[in-house]
A and B are shown apart, each in its own frame.
Chain A
Amino acid sequence: MSRLEQFILFVLDRARKMGIKNLSLFQLFKISYIIQVLSLKYAGKNFFPALVFIRHQHGPISTDIYHEIDELIQKKYIGKDISKKEDYKYARHGHKLIKGLPRLSFNQGEVVFLDNFLSELLPLSQKKLKEYAYATEPMEEIIKKEKGEVKTGVVLNFSSVVVDPDVVNSYADET
Chain B
Amino acid sequence: MNFSVGDIPFFREYQFTDTGKTAPHFGLVLLPENATRYTSSVLCCVITSQQPNRKKWSLLLKCSCYSCFTNDSHACFDRKDLVSKNGLGNDPQPKAKLNKDDLKRAYKVLRGSLFVIKDLANDPHMRGVIIYEWKKALGLLKTRT
Contact = CB atoms under 8 A, between A and B. Distances in A.
A115 B34 contact: yes
User: 10 closest Cβ contacts across the A-B interface?
Assistant: A42-B128, A109-B123, A109-B126, A116-B35, A119-B34, A113-B125, A43-B128, A109-B125, A43-B124, A171-B115
Interface in B71-122: 111-112, 115-116, 120-121
Given A43-B125, A115-B35, A119-B34, A166 B131 contact: yes
Interface residues of B, number: 27
Interface of A: 17, 38-39, 41-45, 107-110, 112-113, 115-117, 119-120, 124, 128, 131-132, 135, 164, 166-167, 169-172, 174-175
A108 B132 CA distance: 17
Contacts of A117: 129
A115 B36 contact: yes
A172 B112 CA distance: 10
Contact of A42 (B34, B116, B132, B144): B132
A116 B131 contact: no
Contact of B115 (A38, A112, A169): A169
Contacts of B129: 42, 109, 112-113, 116-117
A108 B34 contact: no
13 contacts: A17-B38, A39-B125, A42-B131, A107-B125, A109-B120, A112-B36, A113-B128, A115-B34, A116-B132, A119-B34, A124-B145, A132-B145, A170-B115
Contacts of B38: 17, 115
Nearest to B135: A166
B13 interface: no
A167 B131 contact: yes
Given A42-B128, A124-B145, A175 B34 contact: no
Given A39-B128, A42-B128, A115 B145 contact: no
A113 B35 CA distance: 7
Given A43-B124, A116-B133, A120-B145, 16 more contacts: A17-B38, A39-B125, A39-B128, A42-B125, A42-B132, A109-B121, A109-B127, A113-B129, A115-B35, A115-B36, A116-B129, A119-B37, A124-B145, A131-B145, A135-B144, A171-B116
Contacts of A116: 31-32, 34-35, 129, 132-133
B129 to A, nearest CB: 5
Interface string B34-71: 11111000010000000000000000000000000000
A120 B141 CA distance: 15
Contacts of A119: 34-35, 37
Contact of A171 (B31, B112, B125, B145): B112
A171 B117 CA distance: 11
Contacts of B31: 112, 116
